[in-house]
């Protein structure tokens, strides 16, 4: 139900790729390797647009912060069994919950994330969405509905690395795969948010190519994502 409401599930280089190591607010951002693989067919002129709209910050949280977030959400998640196939076929093998209030350890982390990722004029949705993918779980391609979710989606990844795939909605041969590391934060806005579908690949498909075409297998295990969203802009006409 949550997934349906929050995602809406309507549809069927160089950017600021940064790394910071402290697990604290990334005031000092360092550039690191860009874990993107652009498939053949991705137009060079679209790259800049994509990369400035999809930002990943490795080690946004520390190991201790990850553990503490896990400890808070796990009791709520483990009461449920994994749903194999969602009725609208958006996600496979998942369970979910949402949180409005966080404990005293985790609240500063969530607030740090929100302050970092969202411009001050945006109104945050009060509930943070917590999505738990089983080891064999994956998220199918979709664009979050503009009816239920505003311009920015910010996602913390716990427990596992994964590969996010983006496919241009109007030009399906424009595909880019991105490594989403455990404890990273990604911020999706602008073109990556509206022009591309996004998905989290199943473990067996999680293969990233480097610029020399060497393949690297990413073992996606159980993964929990903590997804913060802002309110939709009611003044725009919705496609989804």
Which residues in this chain contact ligand AKG in the complex, by CB under 6 A?
7, 131, 139, 144, 153, 155, 198, 200, 225, 227
What minimum distance in Å lies between the beta carbon of 167 and ligand AKG?
13
Phi, psi of 145 (to 5 degrees): -65, 130
Kindly tell me which of 27 and 100 has the beta carbon lying closer to ligand AKG.
100
Backbone CA torsion sign across 216, 186, 34, 54 = positive
Q: Shortest gap between Cβ of 29 and ligand AKG (angstroms)?
A: 21
Name the residue nearer to ligand AKG (CB basis): 51 or 182. 182
For residues 35, 32, 198, 64, the Cα torsion angle rounded to the nearest 10 degrees is 110
Of 141, 209, 145, 137, which is closest to residue 169 (Cα–Cα)?
A: 141
Q: Are strands 54-58 and 18-19 parallel, antiparallel or unpaired?
A: parallel
Q: State the pairing for strand pair 91-99/215-217.
A: unpaired
Q: Is 213 left (phi over 0), alpha (psi -120 to 50) or beta?
A: left
**Angle at 232 (CA atoms; ends 144, 142), nearest 5 degrees:** 5
Which C-beta is closer to ligand AKG: that of 37 or that of 198? 198
**146 with 240: CB under 8 angstroms?**
yes
Closest alpha carbon to 121 in 236, 226, 231, 238: 231
- For ligand AKG, the closer of residues 51 and 145 by Cβ is 145
CB of 199 to ligand AKG, least distance (A): 7
Q: Which residue, 206 or 225, has its beta carbon nearer to ligand AKG? A: 225
* In the complex, least distance from residue 215 CB atom to ligand AKG, rounded to whole angstroms: 22
Beta carbon of residue 155, minimum distance to ligand AKG (angstroms, whole number): 4
CB of 198 to ligand AKG, least distance (A): 6
Residue 127 near residue 99 (C-beta atoms within 8 A): yes
Complex with ligand AKG: residue 198 or 211, whichever CB lies closer:
198
């Amino acid at each position: 139900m949550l997934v349906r409401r929050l995602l809406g599930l309507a549809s069927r280089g160089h950017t600021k790729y940064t790394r910071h190591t402290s697990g604290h607010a990334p005031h000092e951002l360092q550039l690191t390797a860009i874990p993107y693989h652009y498939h053949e067919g991705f137009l060079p002129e679209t790259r800049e647009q994509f990369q400035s709209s999809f930002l990943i910050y490795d080690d946004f949280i520390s190991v201790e912060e990850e553990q503490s977030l896990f400890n808070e959400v796990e009791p709520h998640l483990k009461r449920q069994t994994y749903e194999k196939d969602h009725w609208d076929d958006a996600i496979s093998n998942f369970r979910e919950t949402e949180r409005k209030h966080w404990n005293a350890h985790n609240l500063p982390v969530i607030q740090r994330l929100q302050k970092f990722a969202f411009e001050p004029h945006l109104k945050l949705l009060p509930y943070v969405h917590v999505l738990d993918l089983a080891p064999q779980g994956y998220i199918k391609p979709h664009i979050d509905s503009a009816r239920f979710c505003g311009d920015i989606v910010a996602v913390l990844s716990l427990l596992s690395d994964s590969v996010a795939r983006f496919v241009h909605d109007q030009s399906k041969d424009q595909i880019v795969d991105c490594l989403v590391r455990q404890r990273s934060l990604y911020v999706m806005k602008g073109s990556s948010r509206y022009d591309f579908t996004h998905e989290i690949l199943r473990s067996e498909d999680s293969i990233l190519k480097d610029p020399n075409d060497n393949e690297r297998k990413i073992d996606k295990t159980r993964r929990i994502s903590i997804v913060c969203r802002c309110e939709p802009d009611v003044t725009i006409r919705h496609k989804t």
